[in-house]
Amino acid sequence: MEIRPSTMDEAVAAVKELAAGGTPVRPVGAGSRATWGGRDPDGAVALHTGALDRIVEHNPGDFTAVLQAGVPLAAAQEHFARAGQMLAVDPPTFPGPMPSGPERAGGTIGGLLATADSGPARHRFGGMRDLVIGVEVLLSDGTVARAGGKVIKNVAGYDLSKLYTGSYGTLGLVTEVAVRLHPLPGPTATVLGSSDDPHVLAGAALALAKQPLEALCLDIGWPAEGPGRLLLRFAGRTAADRARRIGLAGLDDVHVEEDDEGLWNAQRAAQRDPDGPVLKVPHKPADLGDVLATARSHGLAAVSRAALGLTWVRGGSREIFPRATVLDGAAGVADPWPPADAGALALMRRVKARMDPARIFRPGTFVGGI
């Protein structure tokens, strides 16, 4: 069963009715991360945000925007780009055919917030949690609540925007998102170097992470076999110049590419696999070499945000990477989530109980069976 509200009133009415019946609900944007967060209970109703697709505000002078949850990310970016601006998140697009149309392969703003998905630009700009400045949410008892606002600096009230970022639709329906925008980065250039030794590659990345380079992205691409490569991307009018001054001692085939969009699309694409599983592995940046070596010993390909300590591994399981979250392919595993601190988990359960009093939003699917 599907529901597709086109106004807030319709959404409120639909959620109230579902709550009255105790019917589980799964918020759906474009469906570009359909398996993430695991299997929903039988009989779960898909609550589509696709008709809530208005760009409510774009304030170019203030570098802010307010978007309804169902706005496709690609459409929003196209709109912002006309003013020389962007929402500084660049998650991968869905790699397979999209039933809702190819233009929605990049997902929606609501889905991006719910999954906290990210791409290489997170190195410079942080994740969605660092860019969201306000939310409007619809709770299971029909309460409509806003938190934050539409200015980039604001400490009034609790920061529910961050609470809802990465909550996977389990705390209610996110209906509107306010974001901070950034100027488009201008010319870019990437310096690359390769090595088949994971520790050499990771060591080079760590050395770069310790310098004040103000790079746009710092990634590792690590295939299942053969040499991997380090990619460091600069943006701005001196990008190529700065890229050429990077030494990368110890790495092979060091060179600069100015036409570098394809390189980074490949990095993004390597975070996704429609057949799954894809594991997101958090680690200390200094442990990157070990993570890559482990992936190699199991014949698995990976990409890393080297300075952040995040690696996406294609294939494998949590037996190999105990702290990993399974993203693509989550519906095919018993539990996509890693274990959490017992006290933190108890607190999360209380948050869930208060925010979703009818317990209809994806019950049982989140961390620890929340």
Of 313-342, binders to other proteins (CB under 8 A) are 323, 325, 337-338, 340-341
Whole-angstrom distance, CA of residue 225 vs CA of residue 223? 5
- Of 168 and 264, CB closest to other proteins: 168
List the one residue from 275, 297, 344, 364 that touches other proteins (CB under 8 A).
Answer: 344
Whole-angstrom distance, CA of residue 362 vs CA of residue 47? 11
Residue 17 within binding range of other proteins, rule CB under 8 A:
no
- Which residue carries 């929606």 as its tokens? 108
Q: Show contacts with other proteins in window 162-221 (CB under 8 A).
A: 162-163, 165-167, 171, 182-184, 186, 206, 209-214
List the one residue from 242, 272, 318, 362 that touches other proteins (CB under 8 A).
Answer: 242
Give the nearest distance from C-beta 112 to other proteins in angstroms. Answer: 14
Give the nearest distance from C-beta 102 to other proteins in angstroms. Answer: 29
Q: Report how many residues bind other proteins under the rule CB under 8 A.
A: 92
- Of 4 and 182, CB closest to other proteins: 182
Find residue 279's DSSP bridge partners: 313, 326
H or E stretch covering 130: helix 128-131
- Of 261 and 341, CB closest to other proteins: 341
Q: Show contacts with other proteins in window 38-97 (CB under 8 A).
A: 59, 61-64, 84
Stretch of 30-38, 72-80, 224-232, 304-312 lying at the interface with other proteins (CB under 8 A) = 304-312
- Of 225 and 319, CB closest to other proteins: 319
Whole-angstrom distance, CA of residue 109 vs CA of residue 106? 9
Whole-angstrom distance, CA of residue 322 vs CA of residue 319? 6
Torsion angles phi and psi, residue 161, rounded to 5: -55, -40
CA distances from 325 to 107, 205, 278, 342, 368 (A): 20, 24, 8, 17, 12
Beta carbons within 8 Å of 153's beta carbon, 6+ residues apart: none
Residue 129 within binding range of other proteins, rule CB under 8 A:
yes
- Of 9 and 241, CB closest to other proteins: 241
Q: Tell whether the torsion through CA atoms of 264, 161, 59 and 94 is positive or negative.
A: positive
Stretch of 28-36, 37-45, 74-82, 351-359 lying at the interface with other proteins (CB under 8 A) = 351-359
Whole-angstrom distance, CA of residue 235 vs CA of residue 186? 6
- Of 50 and 363, CB closest to other proteins: 363
Please give the DSSP secondary-structure letter assigned to residue 39. Answer: P
Helix-then-strand count for the chain, H and E: 11, 18
Stretch of 36-44, 271-279, 296-304, 347-355 lying at the interface with other proteins (CB under 8 A) = 347-355
